[in-house]
Amino acid sequence: MGKFFGSSVTKKFVMAVAGLFIILFLMVHLGINFFLLIDDPVPFNSAAHFMATNIIVKVFEVVLMAGFLIHMIWGVVLQIQNWVARPKRYKRTSSSQTSFFSKYMIYLGIIIAVFLFIHFMNFYFVKLGLVEGDHENFHLMANNLFHLPLYVVIYLVSFLFLAFHLHHAFQSAFQTLGLNHNKYTPVIKGIGLIYSIIVPLGFSIIPIVIYFFK
Amino acid sequence: MKLTLKIWRQKNADAKGKFITYDFDAASPDMSFLEMLDALNTKLIKERTDPVAFDHDCREGICGSCGIYINGHPHGPGKKAITTCHLSMREFKDGDTVYVEPWRAKAFPVVKDLIVDRTAFDKIQIAGGFISTNVGSAPDSHAIPVEKSKADEAFDSAICIGCGACVAACKNASAMLFVSAKISQFALLPQGRIEAKERVQTMVKKMDELGFGNCSNTGACEAECPKEISLVNIARMNREFYWAKIQ
Ligand code: HEM
Ligand code: SF4
Ligand code: FES
């Protein structure tokens, strides 16, 4: 088993599975977030309450956090190996035709990790009781937060970088898993493009609406 | 035509190496890139200086020994799917500045100037890029039936000439395109299936050991490969690898 996880191919396998799991989770997260657009705090707060207490969700939460950690650790390890593999760079840098954002995944990832920390300070750590706050009224917390321009900007910029990460990530994960097919790969790329636009855009709508209209 | 050539010069594997600029006006658009280098070398020899060392053999795109990183592209800019020996000087304009560099990868150390040591590829091949069979007279053709489409696919992988442009192009100096082509050419055929499980594991292991980078699915290798080996091969290698590990 140790050998299985050690190879270049399996590290990417684990990253891809973890990444796809996070991709699924993001859709659930976004779905719940839309309750924030309703003035009545009850639907959002009960959804948040459900997410915080339901036993199955709790299991998923552990898996998700482990997924984030593994994805980040392998991401950094692979990147360091990749830099080491070319100790001397080219003078004229590559102008080969490539998947554009693939070259910046580590930087995009680090930005997302920093955002995650801020985001956890705002919400998740409050839920865990690590940071002070009213963990029965996340609706109010979100409304307060997104009246601060600084946070609106931080969230919006982070979602943009998330979109860039996802644009390469979605189709890349399928290729890593060995799913490359003349007919279906263009479809996967299409879905990935749509996903990487729609989901970050959906997340962005919420702070914007709260800031300007609530 | 007149060119400003900035060529990587390095005496030997241990020397530091640097770019030397050559103002060269004897190039012609009718030359191939290697012929242009030959002309430059003739001039350098006449001037009693050390000619530029570069690898070449067949000069018809089949041996895989030529390989120079020219203006940000392995095997040079312009036409796709060509080797350095097939690169025409027509791809350059009069007055161009041309950067001429060796493949850059930890696993491909520079031997001299533009020549790199690609023994690492041989080591990967030795680790599993073969089939075991009893020697003797050639087997009867069609003794083992192979579907035409599979034979074609295997052939598309088998045409990899081991030039290393995939490694040179990759931002991670990954050898996955090469290795996956060498695995695929066997994985697709019944003769190769027998040892498929061990092959994929030993070859990937060797590739990792030799210090090549990992695959980011960036696609630079596929874009620069002179034989248009496709990323489908890498996906196939990954699949083969997972199955081998699960079984
Ligand atoms: C919302 C969060 C995230 C999602 C949904 C996500 C998803 C993905 C997916 C699906 C891939 C493709 C894997 C593959 O190529 O097989 C990927 C690649 C990558 N991710 Fe993330 N990721 C997220 C956050 C992060 C973070 C926080 C980091 C921090 C280091 C990171 C670093 C990377 C790197 C470096 C790669 C490229 C790996 C390579 O070059 O092969 N990601 N991501
Ligand atoms: S896969 Fe293409 S670029 Fe790589 S060694 Fe083979 S022929 Fe050269
Ligand atoms: S010299 Fe043989 S491929 Fe170029």
Residue A90: inside a domain: no
- With CA atoms as reference, the chain A residue closest to B223 would be A97
Pull the structure tokens for residue B81. Answer: 């799917």
Nearest-Cα distance to chain A for B190, in Å, is 21
Out of A92, A103, A171, whose CB is closest to B71?
A: A92
Read off the pLDDT of residues B17-45 as tens digits, 9 standing for 90 and up: 999 999 999 999 999 999 999 999 999 99
Q: Which ligand is nearest to the CA of B57?
A: 3
Mutate to test the interface with A, among B114, B178, B216, B247 (most CBs of A within 10 A): B216
Q: Which among B33, B54, B65 is the best mutation to test ligand 3's pocket, defined by most ligand atoms within 8 Å of the CB?
A: B65
Ligand nearest to the CA of A109: 1
User: B218 and A103: CB-CB below 8 Å?
Assistant: yes
Residue at A108 is within a domain: yes
Read out DSSP for chain B? --EEEEEEE-SSTTS--EEEEEEE----TTSBHHHHHHHHHHHHHHTTSPPPP---SSSSSSS-----EETTEET-SSSSS--GGG-BGGGS-TT-EEEEE---BTTB-EEETTEE--HHHHHHHHHH-S-----SSPPPTTSS---HHHHHHHHHHHT-----HHHHHSTT-B-HHHHHHHHHHHHTSHHHHTTHHHHHHHHHHHHHHTT-B------HHHHH-TT---THHHHHHHHHHHHHHH-
**Dihedral sign (CA A21, A27, A32, A37):** positive
Given a cut of 50, whether residue A2 has pLDDT beyond it is no
pLDDT at A5: 58
Mutate to test the pocket of ligand 2, among B65, B166, B180 (most ligand atoms within 8 A of CB): B166
**Closest-CA residue of chain B to A10:** B242
User: Is A96 part of a structural domain of the chain?
Assistant: no
**Coil, helix or strand for A131?**
coil
For chain A, first and last CA: distance in Å? 53
Looking from the CA of residue B74, the nearest atom of ligand 2 is 3
pLDDT band per the 50, 70, 90 thresholds, residue A1: very low
| Domain count of the fold of chain A | 1
Residue A88 falls inside a structural domain: no
A183 interfaces chain B, CB cutoff of 8 Å: no
Q: Which of B63, B82, B103 to mutate to test the pocket of ligand 3 (most atoms within 8 A of CB)?
A: B63
For ligand 2, atom 7: residue with the closest CA: B160
pTM of the model: 0.94
In chain B, the residue whose alpha carbon lies closest to the alpha carbon of A1 is B245
The answer to whether the CB atoms of A85 and B174 lie below 8 A apart is yes
C-alpha distances (whole Å) from B158 to each of B74, B179, B180 are: 20, 11, 10
- For residue A120, give the DSSP letter: I
pLDDT of residue A94: 83
Q: Name the residue range of residue A209's domain.
A: 2-83+101-213
What are the Cα distances from residue A85, in Å, to A19, A110, A146, B123? 24, 21, 44, 17
pLDDT digits (tens, 9 = 90+) for B2-16: 999 999 999 999 999
Q: What is the pLDDT of residue B53?
A: 98
What residues contact residue A172 under an 8 Å CB cut-off, 6+ apart?
A16, A99, A102, B216, B217
Q: Ligand 2 atom closest to Cα of B177?
A: 1
Asked whether residue A25 is assigned to any structural domain, the reply reads yes
Ranges of residues in chain B with a pLDDT under 70 are none
Domain B118-246: give its CATH architecture: Orthogonal Bundle (1.10)
Nearest 5 degrees, angle CA B222-CA A94-CA B212?
65
Per-residue pLDDT band for A18 (boundaries 50, 70, 90) equals very high
CA B240 / ligand 1 centre spacing (Å): 23
Ligand 2, atom 6: nearest CA belongs to which residue? B160
* Contact check, Cβ <8 Å, A92/B72: yes
Query: Tens digits of per-residue pLDDT, A113-165?
Result: 999 999 999 998 888 888 888 877 899 999 999 999 999 999 999 999 999 99
Amino acid letter for position B168:
A
Sole residue written with tokens 């290393």: B164
Residue A69: inside a domain, yes or no? yes
Listed by number, the residues of chain A in 86-105 with a beta carbon closer than 8 Å to a beta carbon of chain B are: 86-99, 102-103, 105
Phi-psi region of B108 (alpha: psi -120 to 50; beta: other; left: phi over 0): beta
Region of B131 on the Ramachandran plot (φ > 0 left; ψ -120 to 50 alpha; else beta): beta
Provide the CA A205 distance to its chain's centre, in angstroms: 17
Residue pLDDT, tens place only, A25-58: 999 999 999 999 999 999 999 998 898 889 999 9
pLDDT attached to residue A155? 98
Q: What's the mean pLDDT in A79-97?
A: 93
Token pair for B154:
């295997």
Q: Establish whether this prediction's ipTM goes over 0.90.
A: yes
Residue A92 lies in a domain: no
Domain B3-112 is of which CATH architecture? Roll (3.10)
Amino acid at residue number A4: F
Residues of chain B with CATH 1.10.1060.10: 118-246
List the single residue in B with minimal CA-CA distance to A174.
B235
